[in-house]
Amino acid sequence: MYLRNLITFLILFACLKVVANQSVDIIPKPVSLQMYSGSFEITEKTSIQFNSRQTELEQAAHFLSDAIESISGIQLSFNEETEHQIQLKLTSANMLGDEGYNLNVSADGIVLEANAKAGVIYGMQSILQMLPAVRTNAKLIIPCLAIEDYPRFKWRGMHLDVSRHFFGPDVIKQYIDLMASYKMNVFHWHLIDDQGWRIEIKQYPKLTDVGAWRVDYNHLVWDKRPQAKPGEEPTYGGYYTQEQIKEIINYAAERNVTIVPEIEMPGHIASAIAAYPEYCCTQKPQLPLTGGNYTNMSSNYCAGNDAVFTFLENVLNEVLELFPSEYIHIGGDEVNKNSWKKCELCQQRMKDENLKDENELQSYFIKRIEKFLISKNRKMIGWDEILEGGLAPEATVMSWRGEAGGIEAAKMGHDVVMTPGKPCYFDHYQAGPTGEPLAIGGFNTLKTVYDYEPIPHELSTDNAHFVLGAQGNVWTEYMTTVEHLEYMVLPRMAALAEVVWTPKSNKDWDSFNKRINSQFNAYEQKGLNFCRGNATVAFKPISHAGNLSVEMSTEVLDGEIVYTLDGQDPTLKSKAYNEAIKINSTAVLKASVIANGVVVGTEPSSQNFVMHKGIGCDVLYTNPVSTYYLADGPNSLTDGIRGNGTVGKFWHAFNENDLVATLDMGEIKSISDIKLGCLQKYRDWIFMPKEVVFEVSVDGKKFKEVGRVVNPIDANEAELVYDFKTFFKAKKVRYVRVIAKANVCPPGHNGAGKPSWIFADEIMIK
Ligand code: ACM
Ligand code: ZN
């Protein structure tokens, strides 16, 4: 039977006509896709064929037949002699690896081959993307084609925080379904944080009886929620029973999704301390937090108390029993070490173990846990803070504070997963913020996600293979509902899927931007909430040699940009953008996108430009600018654009070193007024410089001080912009130098005593 089928198949394929101008909208884009003329229809008479001794194929056959039944009511038979067949085969093709597949569709039938079940399932996901998304009476027609496909990276992850807001098992399954449809394979389940413990641990029932519940302030914005008072009833929360978790793990495994649980330690565990205060340094009871009121909180396990390690090993034993994953995530981020500084047991531990500071104490903590996990044949992964004080010997690092941690770890020969805030944090805005639900901040559009390259250019080819892949992180502080969660994830998850699956050389934004429309239709049919894409106009100032011009771009498919400089909202009749426009005076640039004959988006994108004598001047920095917060390049401080406090698109950042910026105005000019704009944002470790010094020079060699301003801003101010300024008797000079002195985080802050960031937006000269 197999031989006959094979021969028919080969003959058929030989006769097929290649069609170049047709395609299918599969996401992530396959490695190779060849379209042929004709199509195959799945009907009542189609059967699925497989070797019934291969149970993994039988499981895969069920996956496909269930999916086909749910969209059509058709029940496909297994291994019956029907005229039209879908053949599933295990093969041994080197190129395909563990997860690749070959899919051949002819008018006569379908052949799906892979080395392992994962590949068969992925081939089925490709088939399903070509069929209706929901139950219809439409015919199930698939065009004739040949696909060869396999992933670029082995870690194709999505994270979900279920502590800040709780999402029940059905939501988790839907999330896993979405991941699986895009061939994502790691679900990083953030089960524990200050605001709720979400996994049943039988030996410690109070973790969920107490730690899973908090006083409900969900009607208030996250960072405006008061801490609960004793006596207020905790009514908001929830947790997953071990039975539910087992079911979800199996559900995920059927879709080739591995669940990596995150058992956060040693910080971010107020929920555990609420249940068992004896495991923190003060041993004083406290309540799970209601929101983002972190300041002055100390919610760490005590690193000096051996009972803590016994507790954690007992917890981990139950976790390991449940989760078959090779990796266990132990958190490790944002530990406020103040409690350790004041704790006798912690200080004694540091003496006994010869640890020179609290960073080394954190490292001791993590290494001790890693040793335990290794003894159980598991691998430990943690956030990039686990590098501080010394990395555990076999740890894998998840790089979230930019890529620096990942680069450092890879250079040391450790595996890394890339999840830099830009663009992998899907809790950031994607199309606004105007018109979008309130988010924590940031701006990661669909295209910025799509354009992400997980291998940093800093890594040699030898070190690049330590990058296992990348992951999208979904922190839910601002997401109280499933609808909001869906909106933040869709469609960015699809873009990231193509980043981690599709060969770099095959990536093509325009093609993705077209294909995503099929996904939009599917989301609509399934009743999923999603973002239709970013209709804002991106402004790219080009400040150079005394001139300022602006380039504009749009992510809207076939979108055209119209703009004004007179403050009016652009209309269909406004000037069309073709090439970079010159800015010669203080102006408001407003721009909109036109697509299909209408203006899209809720309101125009708008940018103020302030003119001054430094505009377009080249800036030379004595110390390097953060490559992560670069704003729009080296001349960001002379582009006429002020920063934006919440979204933070135009801030230029410095860490540890002074900001020393020297401007060349190109000719002698008479000036009498210099300002430097700076941001303070307590939560994000951004503080005013200690002091700002202003200097001028005629020849660029000898500089003369013309002003000095000591920081007048209280370090406890949560967020504000302040202009350091100096006025002086007019001077004829060519060069201006601004020195902003590095500062540290204030006492009581999470980073107390550590270098803070300087965020500056503009040097304004009059
Ligand atoms: C993190 O975002 N704190 C890992
Ligand atoms: Zn302690």
DSSP 433-491: STTS---SS-B--HHHHHT--SS-TTS-HHHHTTEEEEEEB---TT--SHHHHHHHHTT
pLDDT of residue 6: 52
Give the span between the Cα atoms of 419 and 448, in whole angstroms: 13
Q: Tokens at residue 634, please?
A: 């080296």
What amino acid occupies position 648?
G
Closest CA to 286 of 163, 192, 191, 194: 194
59, 254 contact by CB (below 8 A)? yes
What is the per-residue pLDDT for 655?
79
Active site residue 165: no
Beta strands, E only, 288-410 = 327-331, 379-383, 396-399
Cβ neighbours for 462, distance < 8 A, ≥ 6 positions apart:
none
Pocket residue to mutate for ligand 1, from 269, 299, 475, most atoms within 8 A of Cβ: 475
- Cβ of 333 less than 6 Å from ligand 1: yes
Residue 213 phi, psi (nearest 5):
-125, 135
CA angle (98 as vertex; 493, 489 as ends), nearest 5:
5
Angle among Cα 267, 714, 736 to the nearest 5 degrees reads 110
Pairing of β 213-215 and β 234-237: antiparallel
Please tell me the distance between residue 385's alpha carbon and the centre of ligand 1 in angstroms: 10
DSSP 25-91: --SSPPSEEEEEEEEEEE-TTEEEE--TT-HHHHHHHHHHHHHHHHHH----EES---SEEEEEEE-
Cβ-proximal residues to 296 (8 Å cutoff; 6+ apart), any chain = 748
- Determine the residue of 161, 330, 333, 477 to mutate for testing ligand 1's pocket, defined as the one with the most ligand atoms within 8 A of the Cβ atom: 333
Straight-line distance from the first to the last Cα atom of the chain, in angstroms, rounded to the nearest whole number: 86
- 3-state DSSP of 119-135: HHHHHHHHHHHCCCCCC
pTM of the model: 0.91
Handedness of CA 383, 384, 386, 391 (dihedral sign): positive
Kindly give the distance from the C-alpha atom of residue 341 to the centroid of ligand 2, in angstroms, as a whole number. 8
The angle at the Cα of 156, spanning 269 to 467, to the nearest 5 degrees, equals: 85
What is the mean pLDDT, run by run of 10 residues, along the chain of 766 residues?
A: 49 61 91 97 97 96 98 97 96 95 97 98 98 96 98 98 98 98 98 97 98 96 89 96 98 98 96 96 89 70 98 98 98 91 97 96 98 98 95 96 94 98 96 89 94 97 97 98 98 98 98 98 98 93 86 96 95 96 91 94 87 90 75 79 63 83 94 95 91 97 97 94 96 97 91 89 93
For the question of residue 193 being annotated catalytic, the response is: yes
Cα–Cα distance, 755 to 765 (Å, whole number) = 29
Distance 378 CA to ligand 2 centre (A): 27
Strands (E), 216-344: 234-237, 258-265, 327-331
Take atom 2 of ligand 1 and give the residue whose Cα is closest: 400
In angstroms, the CA 316 to CA 430 distance is 37
CB 293 within 8 A of CB 223: yes
Residues 335, 385 contacting (CB under 8 angstroms): yes
**Cα 355 to middle of ligand 2, angstroms:** 14
Query: CA-CA distance, 721 to 727, in Å (whole number)?
Result: 19
Q: What is the structure's pLDDT at 650?
A: 65
- Please confirm, yes or no, whether 329 is among the known catalytic residues: no
* CA of 398, closest atom in ligand 1: 4
Half-sphere exposure of 401 (CA within 13 A, CB side): 16
Residues 6+ apart with CB under 8 A from 55: none
- Could you tell me if 184 and 500 are in contact, meaning their C-beta atoms sit under 8 angstroms apart? yes
> Which position among 25, 247, 333, 334 bears the catalytic label?
334
Marked catalytic residue, from 161, 193, 658, 695? 193
Q: Which of 691, 766, 699 is nearest to 728 (CA)?
A: 766
The pLDDT value recorded for residue 1 is: 41
What is the pLDDT at residue 473?
98
Q: Measured from the CA of 383, which atom of ligand 1 is nearest?
A: 4
Burial call 396-428: b when 16+ CB within 10 Å, e when fewer = bbbbbbbbbbbbbbbeeebbbbbbbbbbbbbbb
Half-sphere exposure for 245 (CA within 13 Å, toward CB):
21
- Shortest-distance ligand to the CA of residue 268: 1
Would you say the CB of residue 684 lies under 6 angstroms from ligand 1? no
Q: Is 426 in the pocket of ligand 1 (CB under 6 A)?
A: no
Q: What's the rounded Cα separation, in Å, for the pair 286 and 277?
A: 7
Q: How far is the CA of 333 from the centre of ligand 1 (A)?
A: 6
